[in-house]
Each structure stands twice: as structure tokens, then as C-alpha cells.
Amino acid sequence: MKHRTPVRIVGAREAKNNFGEILRRVYEDDETQIIARSGMPVAAIISISELERFYPEKMRAVPNAKTSAKNQRAWRNMMSALADMQKGGEKFSEEEVEQDVQRAVQEVRHRKGKK
């Protein structure tokens, strides 16, 4: 299966002025950023997981690269799951949620009391 990541071309000035947003898009959205100067692509910013995929032998020498790539994948999985939950799940009233929370709190307190 081919892995496809979105690619976005940004000018060098925009990259400089919005570097935090570019990093967020690379990290959270796995979006490759191509930096262009005078319309000519000169550099790319890619995620650690992409870099690991392209250069696994070189990444073994980078401290914490494995952990960083794992964290990045976990972040994307969590954000995807949250998005799925927000799309259409069941709708609950505030009353129902409050009752569920109270019930869970009572269960935890009951278990702690047995120890």
C-alpha cells in the first residue's frame, strides 16, 4: 500500500512568518511542506515518521526518533478517533452525562472502600 501525505507549497517568507503553523501542519496533519524561493522549490519539511520511512538506517542514529514517530502516530490516531466521535455519534443530554459521571464516581469510591 502506498503512503500518501498531503503536500503544500509555501513561499520562504510565508514559511518564516508562520513557522509554528507549518510545524503544526507537519506534525498533526502529516502534511509535507515544500519551501519555495522565487517560485523555485528549495527545501522540504516532512514529519519524523516520513523521514523514518525514507531513511530508516540514518534514523537509528537519531536520539528519540522512534519515540517521536510513535508519539506522532498516536497523536494522529487519537485526533482521528475524536473526529469520528464528533461526526455523528449518539447525542446525550447534559442530565444523562451527569448521571453517568455520578454513577462512575460512586463505583470508584465503592471499589476504593473495599480495599
**Containing structural domain, residue 44:** 7-114
pLDDT in tens, 26-37: 988 889 999 999
Residue 1 lies in a domain: no
pLDDT, tens only, 35-69: 999 999 999 999 888 888 888 887 777 777 667 76
Q: How many domains does the chain have?
A: 1
Residue 96: which CATH number?
3.40.1620.10
**Closest to 68 in 3D by CA, of 54, 51, 80:** 51
pLDDT band at 16 (very low <50, low <70, confident <90, very high): very high
**Model-level pTM?**
0.55
Q: Identify whether 102 is part of a domain.
A: yes
Q: Is residue 54 part of a domain?
A: yes
